[in-house]
Amino acid sequence: MISVDISANHPTLVSNRPVSWRGLLEFEKTMFVVFNLMDIVMTYLLLNTGSFYESNPIANFVLDGWGIVGMAAFKLVLVAFVLLIANVVAIWRIGTARKLLYLGSFMIGTVVTYSGYLMMSFVGWF
C-alpha cells in the first residue's frame, strides 16, 4: 500500500514496507570501528613501552582501575555509543549520520597516525 505524506513541505510518496537496516552506512560504520580498533592497539603498544602514558584523564582512571582490558572495554563502549547515535540520526537524516561517522573516523585516524609517529620516534625511525 502506498500513501502520500502531506505533512512535509513537499508531498512525497511513502511506502508502508518495513525499512531494512542491513547495509545502512555499512562502509562508514566499518571504517569507524577499524580506526578505533587500531587506536586500541596503538594505545596498548605505546603503554607497553613504559615511556608513554594515557593523557585522557577518564581513560587513565579506567586504566588505573581495570588495566588495559578495562580501557579497551571502555573505548569499545564509546564506539558502540557513537554507532547507536549514528543509527538514530540515520532514521531522519542519513547524510548527517554519514558525516558524523566520517568525522569520527577522521578524528580517530588522526590519533592513530600521531600514535604511529610517536611509536616510530620511540624506536628511532625518526
Count: domains in the chain: 1
With respect to residue 8, please indicate whether it lies within any of the assigned structural domains.
Answer: no
With respect to residue 114, please indicate whether it lies within any of the assigned structural domains.
Answer: yes
With respect to residue 1, please indicate whether it lies within any of the assigned structural domains.
Answer: no
Q: What is the domain range of residue 45?
A: 23-122
Residue 64's φ and ψ, nearest 5 degrees, are -65, -35
Beta-carbon-side half-sphere exposure of residue 88 (alpha carbons within 13 Å): 6
Cα separation, 21 vs 97, in Å, equals 14
With respect to residue 35, please indicate whether it lies within any of the assigned structural domains.
Answer: yes
With respect to residue 110, please indicate whether it lies within any of the assigned structural domains.
Answer: yes
Whether the predicted pLDDT of 11 surpasses 50: no
Mean pLDDT, range 86-95, rounded to an integer: 94
With respect to residue 14, please indicate whether it lies within any of the assigned structural domains.
Answer: no
pTM of the entire predicted model: 0.79
Model confidence at 13, in pLDDT bands (50, 70, 90)? Answer: very low
With respect to residue 29, please indicate whether it lies within any of the assigned structural domains.
Answer: yes
With respect to residue 5, please indicate whether it lies within any of the assigned structural domains.
Answer: no
List, for residues 36-73, the tens digit of each pLDDT value: 999 999 999 999 999 999 999 999 999 999 999 999 99
Cα separation, 91 vs 34, in Å, equals 23
**Which pLDDT value is given to residue 2?**
53
